[in-house]
Amino acid sequence: MIKTALEDYKDMIHRCFRCGYCKFTSDYSGFNCPPYTKFRLETYSPGGRMWLIYASLVKKEIEWTDSLSNILYTCTMCKNCVEKCRFKFSEDLVNIIRAAREEIVERALAPPKVRDFLENVDRQGNPYGEPREKRSDWSKDTEIKRYERGDEFLYHVGCVGSYDTRSQDAARALGDILLKSGLSFGILGNKEECDGNEVNMLGEAGLFDLLIEKNIQKFKDLGVKKIVTLSPHAYNAFKNDYPKDFEVMHYTQLLRDMIKDGRLDLSKRKENGFDATITYHDPCFLGRYNGEYDAPREILNSIPGVELIEMERNRENAFCCGGGGGNFYTDFMGSEEDSPARIRVREAYDTGAEILVVACPVCLTMLNDAVKMERLEEKLKVKDLSEIVREICNL
């Protein structure tokens, strides 16, 4: 975890806000920064945000206000600015935002919605503030068992998959697939703890360290060696911020490998009538943060009858759904016509696809809601990739 003081970034910040390339697409034909796309004010661009951080938190030339806090937290941490940065310090851009947020949290200046998110995780282990005792309710009436020492994989569902009604469907779908494959796995149920990825992105370093400590101890006590995650957010935290005491895979990587070694056979579905035009949305924490663009596409391309049509913005140039950095809860981006999720849904619809496929519970809930707001329910379905594979397997 990056703990460098904001002061140590001051030279980078000064260079950054004098540029501005990073808010564009790769070919500079349009805007790819979600907050700037929505608000069209320079203060909401990466460079403008850096200027505010420099003037207020570094140089102390202007007073920090609630308005500045809201601007800082509109950033979805999508890492588009990292992809587009023309300077060598590009990897530090999200770390600068995180360091600024750490200072804001430390000074008790975070917006109320951010405080609620963090307090809920601290008290109940999830951002929704739902009881810990309900964390495993999604698995009732399934054959998914609790993890036992000796199981090959721990299936980590995460907060969104455990509590969000739409994302629970994806959690069950993946569980059904893993059961069908014969994989030895289990879940923690009500003992599962938040992975802390969004806690880290929101700037609560102390709580994130506590979550790491609690999770690592739990994994060690149970003898966990391998983890498969439903969420790219959990995958990112486990892979990049936790001690390297276990192997972690995102579920698309595991399913891709199962298809390759024959544990999953999707080749006969065309005979049963599965013919669909599909487009795929790249989750930021799977793609930009971890470089995994191929596994989901390999799965889709292995299904006879599926035609995969790419949106114009895809892979490292994909447009964020707007839910990252806790925005699926804090909702600083709103749900108006120019919100990132609704823009992304319109892009998916323009491809002519019947199904918009995601591989992230945050993207699933954000884009599913956006389809309803766009009144496209009868024309475009949003499905998690796990739901597509389960359907192919006739489960």
Note the pLDDT of residue 2: 42
Q: How many CB atoms lie within 10 A of CB 354?
A: 15
Note the pLDDT of residue 20: 61
Note the pLDDT of residue 139: 96
Could you tell me the fold of the domain covering 127-258? Rossmann fold (3.40.50)
Q: Same fold for the domain at 127-258 and the one at 266-392?
A: yes
Domain coordinates in residue numbering, the chain: 6-110, 127-258, 266-392
Note the pLDDT of residue 3: 45
Note the pLDDT of residue 237: 98
For the chain (395 residues), the mean pLDDT of every run of 10, in chain order, is: 61 69 58 88 87 85 90 94 72 85 93 97 96 96 94 98 97 96 96 97 96 97 97 98 96 96 78 79 97 97 92 94 94 90 96 97 97 96 96 77
Note the pLDDT of residue 299: 96
Distances (CA, A) of 218 to 147, 197, 237, 342: 12, 17, 16, 39
Beta-ladder partners of 279: 356
φ/ψ (deg, to 5) at 24: -95, 175
Note the pLDDT of residue 19: 66
Q: Does domain 266-392 have CATH number 3.40.50?
A: yes
Note the pLDDT of residue 265: 85
Distances (CA, A) of 133 to 138, 371, 377: 11, 32, 33
Are 130 and 124 in contact, with CB atoms under 8 Å apart?
yes
Note the pLDDT of residue 21: 63
Note the pLDDT of residue 24: 59
pTM score, whole prediction = 0.93
Location of structure tokens 């579905």: 269
